[in-house]
């Protein structure tokens, strides 16, 4: 495989990972299980979504190898399987949080992330 093809593979893989993580509910799920496993009911207490929607997101994260699961009776517990994904999410969310805190003192054009609602509202 040539260097260009290897590079393409890296970028394609990174894009697929970002696509998987591009949903706030999935980021919240990852955050919730960073410090230990949680069952679906516990996740629903922390994350404002419906049970079917939660199950869909958990399934996608499980299929991608981000989460692992175990069954105990009728309950299914999810835990973080990929520490690399956790580190990535932590780094990105920490950076975005610091930018949000600085938003009042920073020109909009200088920010990496501008709130989409503000853009649509023309503010």
Q: If you average pLDDT over residues 48-72, what whole number do you get?
A: 97
The verdict on residue 108 lying in a domain is yes
Q: If you average pLDDT over residues 101-120, what whole number do you get?
A: 55
What are the backbone dihedrals phi and psi of residue 66, each rounded to the nearest 5 degrees, phi first? -75, -40
- Report how far residue 103's alpha carbon sits from residue 87's, in angstroms, rounded to the nearest whole number: 24
Is the separation of the CB atoms in 35 and 78 below 8 Å?
Answer: no
CATH code at 44? 1.10.10.10
**65-91: burial string, b at 16+ Cβ within 10 Å, e else:** ebbebeeeeeebbbebbbeebbebbee
Kindly provide the residue ranges of all beta strands, DSSP E only, lying in 42-96, ordered along the sequence: 67-72, 75-80
Q: Which residue has the higher pLDDT, 105 or 38?
A: 38
- Report how far residue 18's alpha carbon sits from residue 101's, in angstroms, rounded to the nearest whole number: 24
Query: Exposed, middle or buried, 60 (CB in 10 Å: 0-12/13-18/19+)?
Result: middle
pLDDT-derived band at 112, boundaries 50, 70, 90: low
Task: Verify that 32 and 70 share a domain, yes or no.
Answer: yes
Task: Verify that 73 and 99 share a domain, yes or no.
Answer: no
Is the separation of the CB atoms in 43 and 54 below 8 Å?
Answer: yes
Which range marks the domain in which residue 118 is found?
Answer: 83-123
Task: Verify that 73 and 50 share a domain, yes or no.
Answer: yes
pLDDT in tens, 3-43: 668 888 999 998 999 999 999 999 999 999 998 999 999 99
> How many domains does the chain divide into?
2
Task: Verify that 65 and 105 share a domain, yes or no.
Answer: no
């Amino acid at each position: 495989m040539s260097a260009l093809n290897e590079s393409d593979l890296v970028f394609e893989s990174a894009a697929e990972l970002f696509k998987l993580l591009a949903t706030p509910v999935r980021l919240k799920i990852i955050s919730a299980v960073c410090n230990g496993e949680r069952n679906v009911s516990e996740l629903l207490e922390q994350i404002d979504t419906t049970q079917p929607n939660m199950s869909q997101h958990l399934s996608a994260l499980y299929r991608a190898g981000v989460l692992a699961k175990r069954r105990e009776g009728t309950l299914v517990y999810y835990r973080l399987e990929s520490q690399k994904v956790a580190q990535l999410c932590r780094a990105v969310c920490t950076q975005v949080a610091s930018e949000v805190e600085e938003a009042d003192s920073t020109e909009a054009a200088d920010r990496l992330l501008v709130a989409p609602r503000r853009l649509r509202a023309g503010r």
